[in-house]
């Protein structure tokens, strides 16, 4: 990433969890950053205030919807590079309102790419995709090993799911993000826009105010810290490779710095086999860390929930220099400390409603 270009970097969804961490990194490096965000997700205005307090005039807020084509195009034309993080992020919401999910994730990305294509010199576009593009992995066999599903296939057990895995979109969310993923790659092929894609596993860390639908590591911690029950959908033996947001930001910034070498490619981004952990194992660690038992309850499996997903990150690590990922126990403990110090106080009526159940 050249420091010679004085134009700002555009981060769509820049007040969101990962977006604000990318913006913080860029501003610390001396870059000006346009934060393009509708502030629709509750709590993200706190992230924007945090960025402005830390970096002052380097943060240029633009409160706008990704579906506003004119404002989006103007922002893209003024940018030296784009991190496209804005999205509808929950599978459950996509099932409730698939049209809005499509308009934000697929059409919003298409509009951004069109704006980039029309620039005299198209800016690099780094896109936040998802491991949901690989579907439910129903053709793979898994065995229960204690409280965790493990793949029967030795190569997947050793390395995780690679980018050669066939795409298989499930749920409206999977379809909208998958379509956007493919459009981003094809605008690199068809129109020469310098693009790259990161298909993310579970990212966690500072500035994440997780909910039941998205950001489950932070959600588990918030519920546990407040002494509230945690619902496990399915059996809780689902395995994910979790990655601290600082390591995720390294990958995003690394792709931009090496865009001439990685353009046109999609990479899996996650904690890898070293940071693969089941939901039950996470809860066990949280209870130990907080020094008290947790209250949990089971509910039915949710649509699109994979029993196992661990990213094979070898292609990404071969493409750009990356440090070893933060060990998950250290990262979860760090996030617990951040949440104790920074989470907003829960509304009293929430406790009253739960006590009545």
Angstrom distance (rounded) from CA 252 to CA 85:
11
Decide if pLDDT at 97 tops 90: yes
Q: What is the count of structural domains for the chain?
A: 1
What pLDDT does residue 351 have?
40
CA distances from 90 to 107, 116, 191, 205 (A): 17, 27, 31, 18
Q: By residue range, what is the domain housing residue 258?
A: 87-355
Decide if pLDDT at 100 tops 60: yes
Kindly state whether residue 62 falls inside one of the protein's structural domains: no
pLDDT-derived band of residue 121, with 50, 70 and 90 as boundaries? very high
Which DSSP category does 106 fall into? I
Average pLDDT of span 32-61: 96
Active site residues: 173
Decide if pLDDT at 2 tops 70: no
Kindly state whether residue 20 falls inside one of the protein's structural domains: no
Average pLDDT of span 131-154: 95
Average pLDDT across the chain, whole number: 94
- SS3 labels along 147-206: CEEEECCHHHHHHCECCCCCCCCCHHHHHHHHHHHHHHHHHHHHHCCCEEEEEECEEECC
- pLDDT, tens digit, 9 for 90 and up, residues 185-224: 999 999 999 999 999 999 999 999 888 778 999 999 999 9
- Say which CATH number the domain at 322 has: 3.40.50.720
- pLDDT, tens digit, 9 for 90 and up, residues 247-285: 999 999 999 999 999 999 999 999 999 999 999 999 999
Kindly state whether residue 67 falls inside one of the protein's structural domains: no
Angstrom distance (rounded) from CA 201 to CA 273:
12
Average pLDDT of span 282-300: 95
Kindly state whether residue 66 falls inside one of the protein's structural domains: no
> Which has the higher per-residue pLDDT, 350 or 118?
118
What pLDDT does residue 303 have?
77
Angstrom distance (rounded) from CA 85 to CA 200:
11
Kindly state whether residue 15 falls inside one of the protein's structural domains: no
Angstrom distance (rounded) from CA 194 to CA 6:
19
Kindly state whether residue 130 falls inside one of the protein's structural domains: yes
Kindly state whether residue 63 falls inside one of the protein's structural domains: no
């Amino acid at each position: 990433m050249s420091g010679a270009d004085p134009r700002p970097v555009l981060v769509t969804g820049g007040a969101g969890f990962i977006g604000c961490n990318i913006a913080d990194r860029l501003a610390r490096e001396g870059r000006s950053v346009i934060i393009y965000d509708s502030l629709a997700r509750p709590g993200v205005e706190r992230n924007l205030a945090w960025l402005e307090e830390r970096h002052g005039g380097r943060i240029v807020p633009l409160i706008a919807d990704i579906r506003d084509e004119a404002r989006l195009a103007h922002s893209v034309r003024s940018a030296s590079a784009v991190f496209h993080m804005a999205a509808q992020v929950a599978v459950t919401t996509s099932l409730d309102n698939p049209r809005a999910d499509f308009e934000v994730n697929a059409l919003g990305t298409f509009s951004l790419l069109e704006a980039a294509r029309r620039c005299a010199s198209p800016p690099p576009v780094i896109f936040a995709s998802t491991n949901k593009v690989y579907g439910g992995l129903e053709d793979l066999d898994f065995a229960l090993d204690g409280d965790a599903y493990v793949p029967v296939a030795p190569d997947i057990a050793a390395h995780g799911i690679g980018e050669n895995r066939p795409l298989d979109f499930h749920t409206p969310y999977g379809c909208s993000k998958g379509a956007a993923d493919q459009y981003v790659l094809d605008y690199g092929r068809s129109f020469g826009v310098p693009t790259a894609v990161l298909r993310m596993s579970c990212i966690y860390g500072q500035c994440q105010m997780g909910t039941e639908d998205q950001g489950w590591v932070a959600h588990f911690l918030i519920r546990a810290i407040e002494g509230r029950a945690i619902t496990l959908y399915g059996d809780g033996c689902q395995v994910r490779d979790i990655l601290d947001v600082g390591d995720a930001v390294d990958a995003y910034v690394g792709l931009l710095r090496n865009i001439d070498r990685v353009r046109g490619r999609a990479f899996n981004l996650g904690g890898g086999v070293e940071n693969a952990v089941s939901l039950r194992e996470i809860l066990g660690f949280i209870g130990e860390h907080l020094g008290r038992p947790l209250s949990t309850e089971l509910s039915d499996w949710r649509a699109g929930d994979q029993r196992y997903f661990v990213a094979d990150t070898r292609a990404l690590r071969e493409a750009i220099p990356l440090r070893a990922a933060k060990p998950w126990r250290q990262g979860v403990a760090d996030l617990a400390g951040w949440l104790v110090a920074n989470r907003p106080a829960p509304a009293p009526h929430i406790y009253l409603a739960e006590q009545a159940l």
